[in-house]
Chains A and B, each alone.
Chain A
Amino acid sequence: MSDIKQQVRGFIASNFIISDLDKLADGASLLEHRILDSTGFIELVSFLEETFKVQIQDDEMVPENLDSLDNIEAYIHRKRAG
């Protein structure tokens, strides 16, 4: 598992009560599985900005970038590259 996904799993594990976090697939929707609620996504954004030193624009707050571990990893890579 990549470092980014590992760190995000760690963030979720220590801030949200999730039973069987290991069973959460990398591609699973965090919203549909109610892993993160609206407050949770705001906290995720802060975590990503602080941890990966990126600035998340408000129009980048979309499921394609944030709603799964796979999406988050791809998004962070793109931000760092671009």
Chain B
Amino acid sequence: MRTITYRDALREAIREEMQRDERIFILGEDIAGYGGTYAVSKGLFEEFGEKRVRDTPLAEEVITGAAIGAALGGLRPILELMTINFSLLASDLLVNSAAKFHYMFGGQPQIPLVVRMPGGGGAQRGAQHSQMLESWYAHIPGLKVVMPATPYDAKGMLKSAVRDPNPVLFIEHELLYNVKGEVPDEGIEYTVPLNRGEVKREGQHVTIITFSRMLHVTLQAAEELAKEGIQAEVIDLRSIRPIDIDLILDSVKKTNRVVIAEEGWKYYGTGQGLAALIYEFAFDYMDAPIQHVNSADVPMPYSKVLERAALPKKSDVVNAVKAIVPKALVHS
């Protein structure tokens, strides 16, 4: 095992897959000579050349259409969009083409497309460039939406995404690229499935469900709670669609309490959808109403101070847990 960054883990996954299968190519804005806005594709242009590492114009609708076309034609494109915010320009192609063709045309065409793009805030990118929009896409049957939070999961899930015959939206986070974690040595083959969450920390008093960057905030909160005797079970969703509901229900039936910690907004978001599923299938196991930790319901402020105030913090997670874990339970 080595310790590498999330960014390096992504690059390794792309390189190893491109070495394995010649049909795989990458395209996106500034990904070739420049090495990508977040330096994920650094060095790949030199290794694989312009045929398989293609710079594109700044035109998300066009390049997404091109990638879908390539996938229909038998190639396996990995498209990088600079951020998920720009994917809105391409959303018609993602929702009405990529998600639909296999269903509408008798199962004949397959669209083995991976769209990589970061979401989220915290780096002072302003209201238009700081959004968590995964729930928009997770609403659509025909798409897979995954959001790994660790280098290990990022590499393993990107490989699974590339090999999957369906369109997969692979959503990263700007503040995750420098996160370090253990990953097996290069050349040791492993994948992480696209439909499984993971218990990242075990506990019996409360289940905290989270994903993407908030996993790290939540693990810190769990550490702090443990000092006070509260053992939180932390579930990393990893995949937003499909959702690993069995993993969640098993945990809820054990702890009887749930906090959902996500960076996105509260209303009609991933957390609320999840809460509805939990109430539907584990109602008789609940001992307290589900608590939500979210960003404030505002467009993200540019000001550093206000941005910090708007984003969910460790203390928010700690307080949400304390609101529903009875003191007597901890001391008994």
Q: Do the two shown chains form a genuine complex with each other?
A: no
Using CB atoms and an 8 Å cutoff, list the residues of chain A in contact with chain B: none
